[in-house]
Chain A
Amino acid sequence: MIGAASVPEVTDHPAVQVDDLVVGYGSTPVLSGVRLLVPSGAGVCVTGENGIGKSTLLRCVAGLQRPDDGEIRVFGGRAGSTPDFWRAVVTTVEPPTWYPGLTAREHAELVCRAHGQDPSAAGIDDALDQFGLAGHRDAIPASLSSGQKQRLTLALALLRPSSLLILDEPEQRLDRDGRALVADLLAEYLKTGGSILMASHDDAFASSSGTEITTMESLS
């Protein structure tokens, strides 16, 4: 079912634990002494003005950027590039480069099959329908609009099993109906035991998705 978390193993560890994180670009410090806790099964939405370091924080938690100092734990382990990590974690922090010659629906089928899901039982068509992509299932994703690409990325992220979603402004480029739909799906994801860490500029969206809102300033 789309929007349902699949926790591979029960863990006593928090989903995300960040201690004294320090990141800088050259001589410009972006994050300094950041602490963050996302309990397992909970959702946290980080808000703050542009350039304050929300995306940098998410990238570090996803293991896509090496911090200068501090410690990051995801389900008690180190964030990294291992297959186990990426089986538990899905992120939309970076936009994908789509495979050539593969339609939107086939991308979804590829993701499901890679995770051992039966494509027909995984609800691919329902997911594309929900995200307003039913009429674009035969389209090459690269030819979709930026909003449609965002919907497809979120559909793929929610179709496959995972325990933690790391989302960077998932409401971006979505219309009002799209935002409401994604918020509902994220709330459903939390109810089924998944954890969420996201950054957003939209407090209403964050609230309706069931995440606890926290500001970047409060993390230092």
Chain B
Amino acid sequence: MTTVAVAPLRRWIRRAQVAHLERGERFGTFYFVILFVLVVGSMFWNRLHALVWPADPDTSALAGAALITVVAGGLYLALGRLGPLAISRPAASWLLTAPISRRRLLWPSFATTTAFAALTSAVATLALLGRAGPRPVPVTLVLTGALVGVGVLLVTVAAQSGGRWAVLLDAVVSLLLAAGLAGLVVDAAVGAPRLSGWPPAATLVTATGAFALVAGLFFVLAVRGLTRTPDDRILDASRTAGTLADSAFGVEPSWVADMVERRYWTHRKLRSAALNSRLPVLAAQDLRLALRRPRRLLWLLLASALPALLTHAPVWLLGPAVLVGTLLAAGTTAGNTRTDAANPVLLRMLALNSRRAITQRLLIPAVLAAAWGALALTWLELLVALPPGPWWALGLALGPVGAIAAVRRARVGFVNNALLPIDTPMGSISTGPALASVIGYDALLLGLPAIVLIATGTPLTWLGVATQLAFGLLGGRAYLAGTTDPERVELAKPT
């Protein structure tokens, strides 16, 4: 079969695309980006410098090792979710089906992601060395960090073409990530020793050189193997990239949430089972959804220890961190409410009024948020040594708050881009996306008693727990009264 060269084709497409642009438009964009980086960089330079390169390294060897695992694992999972090899949607439609070299088609994507992985890893290594490494820091280690990033990318590229081993590797990396987070929590609790010194420079140079050699070899093999990347994986990745781009340009994060949800369930094999007859029907449905997401529940269980990482942060941050966690836990079943909010066709088929529907939709999220809150505050009590008191009960009392916040967030719907922007000295702020981004989180203010109780550092009393519970329950009642109607089926008020 004749293979058509892709480079002239791409040049022609680029020329056709830029033909309608005004002269100097691309330079204008370039100028804006450079100016933006310089302005934002100068504003945050001091803080960034203090964060990456403090005067004295203050991070233990254990935390350093845990952070390496978290960064590498996070990079692997993120690159894997994005493809990593992707082409634009038009290219997927027109170039993927054309007789052109697959290797040349994928090369720009491969080169860009390689550079991204190397740069990200190098910056992360620099930050890690700055915080955990004894001074002076060997520069070769930054190069090693970049090579680790390239190595991670090469594994994800292989996994994109791979079979079952890729799924297993995904699970192993998730476990490593969890182990890394556990290491951080343990370090926050016990205060592990710091790194005392580096191996001799010659050893580091030899190791880095050897590593570069191996990475280079696998890089060449990966380039040769680009032709074997299956079309369906490339199409999946291009759809992901397209949805992310649409979401960014349209300032509409719900498109990404929909895509993630749809993709998750597409690959699951389910078996019908009777819904729990003792629960109200929508709560039974939510319970089924929650039980079908065991991995998410496991992550939530592990993540309940994460607020303990804020041991050295200002104490007022602990309460909000726990509250955000309850929202995320309660959000496990948010897909059902999101469906009802976006399209009430099934709600009409069920003929339940909106108040009854939302009351039922709050039940399972409340249980999840209460369990998460109780676990998180128990961990904090054990690891950070909160003052004595029934902290687990305060966590349980946060259940209604997390549930209201999660359901409110799930009902946010599409971003209203018709709202007028607000001009500030920093530039214009789009009101619609700004409002949409805080909806749901604003309901966490109902957890104000808990924030105060944690921040004051005094022993917790049952009166404090009762106050928080009353805030949550009254807030729930007000939320139902204000946003639902027993005489209306649809969740949204008619316009």
Show the binding face of A for B, using Cβ within 8 Å.
81-83, 85-87, 90-91, 94-107, 109-111, 113-115, 119, 137-138, 140, 142-143, 156-157, 160
Cβ 8 A contact of A111, one of B292, B343, B350:
B350
- Taking CB atoms, residues of chain A closer than 8 Å to B489 are 81-83, 85-86
**B349 at interface, CB cutoff 8 A:** yes
Q: In the assembled complex, how far is the CB of residue A89 from the closest CB belonging to chain B, in whole angstroms?
A: 8
Stretch at the interface among B48-56, B57-65, B259-267, B443-451: B259-267
A86→B272 contact, CB < 8 A: no
Q: Which residue of A lies closest to B360 (CB)?
A: A114
Stretch at the interface among B158-166, B235-243, B281-289: B281-289
- Taking CB atoms, residues of chain B closer than 8 Å to A81 are 348, 488-490, 494
Bound together, the chains give a CA A105 to CA B274 distance in angstroms of 9
B270→A138 contact, CB < 8 A: yes
B339→A156 contact, CB < 8 A: no
Q: For chain B residues 219-277, which have a beta carbon within 8 Å of chain A?
A: 261-262, 264-266, 268-275, 277
Give 3 closest A-B pairs by Cβ, nearest first: A97-B343, A114-B350, A105-B272
**B141 at interface, CB cutoff 8 A:** no
A to B CB contacts below 8 Å, 23 in the list:
A81-B488, A81-B489, A81-B494, A83-B352, A94-B343, A94-B345, A98-B346, A100-B289, A100-B336, A100-B339, A101-B268, A101-B335, A102-B288, A102-B289, A103-B270, A106-B272, A110-B275, A113-B284, A114-B282, A114-B350, A140-B266, A142-B266, A160-B349
Bound together, the chains give a CA A39 to CA B266 distance in angstroms of 44
Q: In the assembled complex, how far is the CB of residue B110 from the closest CB belonging to chain A, in whole angstroms?
A: 32
Q: Which residue of B lies closest to A96 (CB)?
A: B345
Name the residue in B273, B284, B345, B352 with the highest tally of chain A Cβ atoms < 10 Å from its Cβ. B345
- Taking CB atoms, residues of chain B closer than 8 Å to A100 are 261-262, 264-265, 289, 335-336, 339
- Taking CB atoms, residues of chain A closer than 8 Å to B272 are 103-106, 137-138
- Taking CB atoms, residues of chain A closer than 8 Å to B293 are 101
Q: In the assembled complex, how far is the CB of residue B117 from the closest CB belonging to chain A, in whole angstroms?
A: 32
Q: In the assembled complex, how far is the CB of residue B98 from the closest CB belonging to chain A, in whole angstroms?
A: 29
**B351 at interface, CB cutoff 8 A:** yes
Bound together, the chains give a CA A156 to CA B346 distance in angstroms of 10
- Taking CB atoms, residues of chain B closer than 8 Å to A160 are 349
A99→B346 contact, CB < 8 A: yes
A83→B285 contact, CB < 8 A: no
Number of interface residues of B (CB under 8 A): 41
- Taking CB atoms, residues of chain A closer than 8 Å to B265 are 100-101, 140, 142
B266→A143 contact, CB < 8 A: yes
Q: For chain B residues 293-339, which have a beta carbon within 8 Å of chain A?
A: 293, 335-336, 339
Q: In the assembled complex, how far is the CB of residue B166 from the closest CB belonging to chain A, in whole angstroms?
A: 22
**B91 at interface, CB cutoff 8 A:** no
Q: Which residue of B lies closest to A114 (CB)?
A: B350
Bound together, the chains give a CA A83 to CA B348 distance in angstroms of 8
- Taking CB atoms, residues of chain A closer than 8 Å to B261 are 100
Q: Which residue of B lies closest to A97 (CB)?
A: B343
Instruction: Name 14 extra pairs, CB < 8 A, besides A83-B489, A86-B489, A113-B284.
Output: A82-B489, A86-B351, A96-B343, A96-B346, A98-B339, A100-B336, A103-B271, A106-B275, A111-B349, A119-B274, A119-B275, A138-B270, A140-B268, A140-B270
**B423 at interface, CB cutoff 8 A:** no
Q: In the assembled complex, how far is the CB of residue A192 from the closest CB belonging to chain B, in whole angstroms?
A: 19
Bound together, the chains give a CA A120 to CA B350 distance in angstroms of 18
- Taking CB atoms, residues of chain B closer than 8 Å to A111 are 349-350
**B342 at interface, CB cutoff 8 A:** yes
Q: Which residue of B lies closest to A115 (CB)?
A: B351
Q: For chain B residues 112-143, which have a beta carbon within 8 Å of chain A?
A: none
**B101 at interface, CB cutoff 8 A:** no
**B487 at interface, CB cutoff 8 A:** yes
- Taking CB atoms, residues of chain B closer than 8 Å to A104 are 272
Question: Given A96-B346, A100-B336, do A82 and B487 touch, yes or no (CB 8 Å)?
Answer: yes
**B467 at interface, CB cutoff 8 A:** no
**B353 at interface, CB cutoff 8 A:** yes
Bound together, the chains give a CA A113 to CA B279 distance in angstroms of 11
Bound together, the chains give a CA A142 to CA B339 distance in angstroms of 12
Q: In the assembled complex, how far is the CB of residue B94 from the closest CB belonging to chain A, in whole angstroms?
A: 26
- Taking CB atoms, residues of chain B closer than 8 Å to A156 are 349
Q: In the assembled complex, how far is the CB of residue A136 from the closest CB belonging to chain B, in whole angstroms?
A: 10
Q: In the assembled complex, how far is the CB of residue A145 from the closest CB belonging to chain B, in whole angstroms?
A: 14
Bound together, the chains give a CA A105 to CA B352 distance in angstroms of 20
- Taking CB atoms, residues of chain B closer than 8 Å to A105 are 272
Bound together, the chains give a CA A97 to CA B281 distance in angstroms of 18
- Taking CB atoms, residues of chain A closer than 8 Å to B350 are 110-111, 114-115
Name the residue in B272, B288, B293, B336 with the highest tally of chain A Cβ atoms < 10 Å from its Cβ. B272
Bound together, the chains give a CA A179 to CA B266 distance in angstroms of 29
A99→B336 contact, CB < 8 A: yes
- Taking CB atoms, residues of chain A closer than 8 Å to B292 are 101
